[in-house]
Chains A and B, each alone.
Chain A
């Protein structure tokens, strides 16, 4: 007599909780019902991200680095459960490790003291932009997502990501891994569904600070640009990341796209 299995239910990951789409809709992938997210799910995810963004940015860079490293630990120990090829999972783990090391280094590299021609101490510091929307590529389903998430949260932002439409399971598996790591609820939010519906809802949301479009789809990219213009949201277009080498090839560009530069001045004198 073989043992009767307990079947898995895939859910969206919003505010640290696993929820169904408020629309109740679903698509089927490999026999699983995968939530088909709606614009209201996008709204809820952005609200969760905004709530989490302040406290996340307020943590020390060291603390964020430790949390990202622990996410790598969590992913490493669950590697076999993720429905993606082993080398892609390893590349994703290593990407988390690499960006864990950036949290307390991007300030000296991207910031500095300005040698102003007056008796003032003037410094410029990169700060997290706030809430970042991520449109992940269709493939690779896990690495393409992690390559955009890791730098965004390493820089101190909260993220709302739309996972691959055709291969959503690895992204939702990642949600479960993050759900048991130390990443605070709301810092990463993962939505599955139809990209053509979710990406415009995300890009058009006025309470987003930046969008990272890794779809590799030019017409979608143009639509994202138009929608982002309504609220002067920053946009970065990137081609899908297909290897670890790619993921860490130009980390500063990924980090710059999701940070703001704050310049401050203070007089020096009696």
Chain B
């Protein structure tokens, strides 16, 4: 009647656990969101946006042409005095409405984000969407408290903000840009990334539902040329850009001689530093989170792992074992840890750099996983025997690839960590509090995570040093870029 006990372990495979996409309502085709409505492009084009896990098209979107951008900026200019003239609490109330609507449509937004961009649904559900709602909620509360956030100074909005966001956290980056801009009384024209326009367009629908006054926010998808045209529009009063350092430099040059304030949040090659007195198992979790979260498509990814020599072998062994348990696959499966690479282009960039790394003499190990036939995939990869001058130690790969270097002393760790044109983030792993704080203050990075990694909060300022950009997003510091103070 009863089955005999097994003496050996079974092989227990997790069954597919797909997040339901049945409830997602997407239009077949989206226009540009200008003047509070979806419009056909005047001189833009229509383009299909593709699911990088399947290479299938999801929906058609419009890319803005020059006349469209002009129309968006004009509508934003026209709406700005009325928006700034509202009682401050009312601006806050609109943003509170948007925050609540994001929460209500959270599941749908998470699924669309994963379909459009390739990230695991567990991440879009648990990180991207909740943080996007939280940003709107946080800045809603600043709208009628602005001078408290800038040391009691008198404040005024700048006018029309032109904002360009990347494809790695599409909705979250849109929230980071729009929430403070609008709270401060500016209007905004936002260009989502070429490969991930959908959640920004759904955000436009949410703004309609919230009855945000027409023209206050425009969503104008496009590619690199669209962004370049937008920042050259004469009617803008502010530019905010998150993306690659190369494009950031172009934008900074394009604005030369114009009195248009700029904030830049660019690339990174962040050092994750593990000392011998760190809690090693926790450090390994932090390393994995630092570089494999979102397939490593993170500006502040801990892509350089600096391990103190005395524990290097041990940490590498633990890390490799842990990497072997990462599940790469369907972004819509709730058990997936590492999703699809965002585009063919990005995949080719990763492959090029990884093969350069092998050519340079570093030792490559990639997790052996079954990758689907269609779609863009890259297995989590570890490089050891990396020299500080190797391309894979210097250039941002923006993929699930970690380069390991070692150090002997604290001073050497700091020196190696700082030897980079970038300065966005860093991680410090040690059980000694005093050391953690000392190393944190010596690191040339805008964000230092001690005994943790990739923690974000709307109240905590985020931004880089050196070629990782300037300006901050989050907290009261995030208001400053959108205000004129006196």
**Could you tell me which A residues sit within 8 Å of B by CB distance?**
61-62, 65-66, 69, 94, 97-98, 100-105, 107-109, 121, 248, 251-252, 266-270
Contact = CB atoms under 8 A, between A and B. Distances in A.
Give the size range of B's interface with the partner.
20 to 34
Contacts of A97: 89, 92-93, 96
Given A101-B140, A101-B141, A268 B438 contact: yes
Contacts of A65: 137, 141
Contact of A270 (B144, B145, B149, B434): B434
* 3 cross-chain pairs, A with B, having the tightest CB-CB distances, nearest first: A101-B141, A268-B437, A267-B434
B344 interface: no
B138 interface: yes
Contacts of B433: 266-267
Instruction: Point out which of B89, B141, B148 has the most chain A C-beta atoms below 10 A from its C-beta.
Output: B141
A61 B476 CA distance: 15
Given A98-B89, A266-B437, A267-B434, A104 B148 contact: no
Interface of B: 89, 92-93, 96, 100, 134, 137-138, 140-145, 148-149, 410, 433-435, 437-438, 441, 458-459, 475-476
Nearest to B95: A101
Contact of B475 (A94, A103, A108, A270): A108
Contacts of B148: 105, 109, 252
A77 B15 CA distance: 45
B50 to A, nearest CB: 35
Contacts of A267: 433-434, 437
B459 A104 contact: yes
Given A101-B141, A101-B144, A252-B148, 19 more contacts: A62-B134, A65-B141, A98-B144, A100-B141, A101-B143, A102-B141, A104-B138, A104-B141, A104-B459, A105-B459, A105-B476, A109-B148, A109-B476, A248-B144, A267-B433, A267-B437, A268-B437, A270-B410, A270-B438
11 contacts: A97-B89, A97-B96, A98-B89, A98-B144, A102-B145, A105-B148, A109-B149, A251-B145, A252-B148, A266-B433, A267-B433
B434 A66 contact: no
A269 B438 contact: yes
Given A266-B434, A268-B438, A105 B142 contact: yes
A103 B137 CA distance: 11
A268 B441 contact: yes
A35 B482 CA distance: 52
A94 B475 CA distance: 23
A269 to B, nearest CB: 5
Contacts of B96: 69, 97, 100
A102 B459 CA distance: 12
Nearest to A62: B134
Contacts of B435: 269-270
Contacts of B441: 268
Instruction: Point out which of B149, B438, B441 has the most chain A C-beta atoms below 10 A from its C-beta.
Output: B438
